Amino acid sequence: MTSAPQAGPGAASTANTPDAADAPDAPGDGAATSADGARGLAERAAALGRELATALVSAGDEARLAAQLRELAARLGGLAGPAPADGTPPADTRARPAAHHGQEPASRSGAVGPDEDDSPVRRGDITPISSPRNPLAPPLVIEREADGSAVGRASLPLQYQGPPERVHGGIVCLMLDQVLGSAAHPKGAAPAYTRVLEVEYLAATPLDAPLTVRGWIERTEGRKRFLAGTVAHGDTITARATGLWVAPREAG
């Protein structure tokens, strides 16, 4: 096990999404403004979802929370249109997740095309750990260092708890998968899948505390990229991982 590569703090660039996904959505100013507005809306809605999730799992005054939620629901009433009598979501909303099933690796986490309804909105990064627009994600903010390694930072609230006061081991593994996956994709590299991910849990990963997740390529053999990484709280490495990312044969 080698130590994580070091790089100057100013050298980082955002790597939550592949490079292609960071390109403007459309050349025209109007289209870009519309897409930016929709992205802001999605991210605000996701942030609200996170706040709600934290509130729902936190001990507190449940009656007050219920009253606040009633008030919020009343204020939002009508925004999403009338609810069906049986309470099921509209058919077009239910159909959307299925559209993700057939995505290729290149589009899985970022470089997605336009929505099926030709909306100018692009989904961008929708991964459940790092996407600002996915309320399931904390989100983990991932940056790429000048040396090609990836660094993710997050503080995980109570809804990510496993054992009391510790982050769930599956979430630790998810963070490593995402950050090592980012490091596995230097610019121009063929899309690759996680083939092996081995995690050692060395110490408690604390909730509500700044965590740093690092990932880097140890070596490359043809279509195989061998990765390593760590999760740390301050100077304490709470987990470390090794992994193998493999580009499908047909990717060349």
- CB environment 178-203: b (16+ within 10 A), e (fewer): bbbbbbbbbeebebbebeebebeeee
Q: Is 195 in the site for ligand MYA (CB under 6 A)?
A: yes
| C-alpha atoms less than 13 angstroms from C-alpha of 236 in its C-beta half-sphere | 11
Q: How far is the CB of 44 from ligand MYA (least distance, A)?
A: 24
In whole angstroms, how far apart are CA 117 and each of 37, 53, 78, 99?
18, 30, 22, 11
Q: Judged by CB under 6 A, which of 122, 133, 185, 214 binds ligand MYA?
A: 185
Size of the site for ligand MYA (CB under 6 A): 19
Q: How far is the CB of 250 from ligand MYA (least distance, A)?
A: 9
Q: Judged by CB under 6 A, which of 47, 52, 202, 246 binds ligand MYA?
A: 246
CB 241 within 8 A of CB 200: yes
Q: Is 75 in the site for ligand MYA (CB under 6 A)?
A: no
Residue 52 to residue 65: CA distance in whole angstroms: 10
Q: Is 103 in the site for ligand MYA (CB under 6 A)?
A: no
CB 48 within 8 A of CB 73: no
Of 106-135, which residues contact ligand MYA (CB under 6 A)?
106, 109
Name the residue nearer to ligand MYA (CB basis): 105 or 120: 105
Residues interacting with ligand MYA, by CB under 6 A?
18, 105-106, 109, 177-178, 181-182, 185, 191, 193-196, 224, 244, 246, 248-249
